[in-house]
Amino acid sequence: MAGRVGNIRVQAWVLVAGAVIMAVKFIAWRVTHSNAVLSDALESIVNVVAGSFALYSLVLAAKPRDRDHPYGHGKVEFISASLEGSLVALAGLIIIYESVSALITGARIHELGHGTLLVASTGVANGLLGLLLRRQGRRSHSMTMEAGGTHLLSDAWSTAAVVLGLIVIQLTGLEWLDSVFAIGFAMFILWQGVKVVRRSIGGIMDETDMAVAGELVKIVEGHRKPAWIDMHNFRVIKFGSTLHIDCHVTLPWYYTVEAAHSEITRLAKLVERNSGREVEFFIHMDPCMPLSCPVCQIMDCPVRQAPFVERIPWTLATVLADKRHTAGEAGRAGSTQGPGAEALRE
């Protein structure tokens, strides 16, 4: 909870700073009448609107789960990110429209010197805020803050390009370049917005984040116990910063309910401790079968019916499969061969 409160505090300060930056950009536009500067100022409106909704979503996501929301409120972060991405894309389209109109009408610009300095200062500020938000988002696994940070960083880069364009215009006197540069910035902004929307839709649809899943599987594989004979049907769903994991784990059939529960609890705590995330597990326990013996590493098992053949490494390719694993699957992956391998093959 402390981390979520910290996220809310950081987002609130970023929102206030964003409003100040927006005001400075519109002052710069009034000074220069530059479409490139206007495009930058319009994107700042998006920053403030999206930042406001991001703050609301972080407050909502921090609420504890209740009867109506048994998985918590974390998925609102995906909605926030999709809204921000949509607004970014819309800003890009508006900038393109305004720039094309300016090319047709031949709008004039002036006072580039002072305007360039104002715009440059907002770019530096947005860059610092973007780095702060993205670092905080990655640390707390908040997609809302990561998306906001990425957006502010892209805004900072587009501002840098605007400044470069204004300098070129001052040196060449070719004022039509202003609209051309603005269109180029708009295409970049549009692409950034589409990427954020795509990622947020994937989260809403419970699309597996392969990077996160791979990180978790690596943790389990690195601390694997002999009693954890097999893992399969591994699924990861993200609810904001919380991960919900369900999977099937094969344990010795002769374990008592208490012993099996102890192993499952150990596995869950292992992942939560080493991932640094809030993790909720739903683990289905499968009892081992004779086909499990060739991949079981409990060498002193009192009821073994076949010799150990090979160790199946747990990777994304193996644990995502919806089936138990048997000997022979890891042969091409450099498995550990047991003394009974040849006998079993014969």
The model's confidence at residue 326, banded by pLDDT at 50, 70 and 90, is: confident
Among 79, 118, 128, 98, residue whose Cα is nearest residue 36: 98
Q: Cα(97)–Cα(91) distance, rounded to whole angstroms?
A: 10
Q: Cα(56)–Cα(7) distance, rounded to whole angstroms?
A: 11
Query: How are strands ordered across the β-sheet holding 278-287?
Result: 230-239, 242-251, 278-287
- Segment 239-260 shows an average pLDDT of 86
Q: Are 183 and 99 in contact (CB under 8 A)?
A: yes
The more confidently predicted of residues 309 and 346 is: 309
- Segment 293-298 shows an average pLDDT of 91
Residue 250: helix, strand or coil by DSSP?
strand
Q: Are 51 and 14 in contact (CB under 8 A)?
A: yes
Q: What pLDDT, on a 0 to 100 scale, did the predictor assign at position 249?
A: 93
- Does residue 331 register a pLDDT over 50? no
Q: In this structure, which amino acid lies at residue 252?
A: P
Poorest-pLDDT segment among 14-23, 167-176, 247-256: 167-176
The more confidently predicted of residues 69 and 214 is: 214
What average pLDDT does the chain have?
78
Q: Are 268 and 232 in contact (CB under 8 A)?
A: no
The more confidently predicted of residues 173 and 2 is: 173
Q: What pLDDT, on a 0 to 100 scale, did the predictor assign at position 110?
A: 58
Alpha helical stretches, state H, the chain: 2-32, 35-61, 76-105, 112-140, 143-172, 177-204, 210-222, 257-275, 316-319, 341-345
pTM: 0.56
Among 175, 179, 234, 173, residue whose Cα is nearest residue 209: 234
Among 120, 127, 45, residue whose Cα is nearest residue 87: 45
The more confidently predicted of residues 257 and 31 is: 257
Q: What pLDDT, on a 0 to 100 scale, did the predictor assign at position 252?
A: 94
- Does residue 251 register a pLDDT over 90? yes
- Does residue 119 register a pLDDT over 90? no
Take residue 294 and report the two structure tokens written for it. Answer: 């060739």
C-beta neighbour count of 196 within 10 angstroms = 26
Compute CA distances 56 → 8, 17, 20, 77, 139, whole Å: 9, 17, 20, 9, 20
- Segment 144-168 shows an average pLDDT of 76
Q: In this structure, which amino acid lies at residue 269?
A: K
- Does residue 309 register a pLDDT over 80? yes
Which residues 6+ apart lie within 8 Å of 227 measured at CB?
Answer: 251, 252, 255, 263, 298
Q: Cα(75)–Cα(54) distance, rounded to whole angstroms?
A: 12
Q: What pLDDT, on a 0 to 100 scale, did the predictor assign at position 341?
A: 35
The more confidently predicted of residues 83 and 308 is: 308
Q: What pLDDT, on a 0 to 100 scale, did the predictor assign at position 206?
A: 65
The model's confidence at residue 339, banded by pLDDT at 50, 70 and 90, is: very low
Residues in the chain: 346
- Segment 72-81 shows an average pLDDT of 72
Tens of pLDDT, residue by residue over 201-214, are: 777 766 667 888 88
- Domain architecture of the chain: domains with CATH: 2-204 (1.20.1510.10), 210-345 (3.30.70.1350)
The model's confidence at residue 334, banded by pLDDT at 50, 70 and 90, is: very low
- Does residue 22 register a pLDDT over 70? yes
The more confidently predicted of residues 70 and 249 is: 249
The more confidently predicted of residues 298 and 86 is: 298
Tens of pLDDT, residue by residue over 218-231, are: 999 999 999 999 99
Which residues 6+ apart lie within 8 Å of 254 measured at CB?
Answer: 302, 303
Poorest-pLDDT segment among 59-73, 162-176, 227-241, 291-305: 59-73
Q: Cα(151)–Cα(145) distance, rounded to whole angstroms?
A: 10
